[in-house]
Amino acid sequence: MARRTRVLLKAGVWAVGLGPIAFLLWRAWAGSLTANPISFVTNTLGDWTLRLLLACLAMTPLRILSGWAWPVSLRRLLGLFAFVYAAIHFSVWIVLDHFFDWGTMGADIVKRPYVTVGMLALTLLVPLAATSTAGMIRRLGSRAWRRLHALVYAIGVLAVLHYLWLAKKGVQDPYWYAAALALLLGVRLWDRVRRLAARRRAPLGEAALAVEPVGRSRSST
Ligand code: HEM
């Protein structure tokens, strides 16, 4: 892919990543954070954490289905933005929702399943964010690094559960996110199964060539 296109795609991710924060700052400056500003800010940040996480999870299925290599180059940035949004979402909960009342926060984590799974998702995101650099991939070795980063699927499931469990009756959005996640995981599973089948069929050495990304013939960039 041309360098210019790569730069443009990354700039697009930065714009999507910074946009919601700019939107919240603008609403705060204009004094229009709704009648319940804490809830509005918490929910906006939560929504964008989930969207960025799913966007990050969508990059590999997109590569599998299209054969394009570029989606994978955006995965790290999307994942880091998801982590930053989760951290701010959590900070708003600590500072504005509970005002550092560690006792009620601890009780919430134990008593409310949606807080428990949200906490777990955020905790699991920390090692992924901390090992997202090229230096850490080298230090861990690519096999161990890939195993660790497979946690992102569990995080996706926990994040969707968090939303499903906190949403009020009749709210449809969490089901749409759950369907999107199921689709993304389904593509990964299907790809794994066809790779295993190809490996079983093909003699040693040819197996690697047997499974091409579905859309490889269109373009490899
Ligand atoms: C990866 C981690 C997380 C994701 C993806 C996430 C996502 C979300 C989403 C999508 C919402 C609902 C937004 C809406 O209704 O429009 C939400 C709300 C909320 N989240 Fe999270 N969240 C995460 C972590 C956490 C953590 C760690 C906490 C606190 C310990 C937390 C506390 C809350 C609270 C208090 C609400 C508002 C509930 C309400 O409206 O009553 N979240 N989050």
Query: Tens of pLDDT along 78-91?
Result: 999 999 999 999 99
Substitution site in 166, 168, 172 for ligand 1 pocket (most atoms within 8 Å of beta carbon): 166
Phi and psi (nearest 5°) for 170?
Answer: 90, -15
Cα dihedral across residues 193, 194, 198, 204: positive or negative: negative
pTM of the model: 0.92
Write the CATH number for 77. 1.20.120
Query: Tens of pLDDT along 14-71?
Result: 999 999 999 999 999 999 999 999 999 999 999 999 999 999 999 999 999 999 999 9
* Total domains present in the chain: 1
State how far the Cα of 189 lies from the Cα of 191, in Å rounded to an integer. 5
Tell me if 55 is assigned to some domain.
yes
If phi > 0 it is left, if psi is from -120 to 50 it is alpha, else beta; for residue 3 that is alpha
Tell me if 39 is assigned to some domain.
yes
Tell me if 208 is assigned to some domain.
no
Residue 39 sits in which domain range?
3-200
Beta carbons of 102 and 65 less than 8 angstroms apart: no
Query: Tens of pLDDT along 204-215?
Result: 656 555 555 665
Tell me if 65 is assigned to some domain.
yes
* Residue 166 in contact with ligand 1 by CB distance below 6 A: yes
Tell me if 54 is assigned to some domain.
yes
Distance 15 CA to ligand 1 centre (A): 22
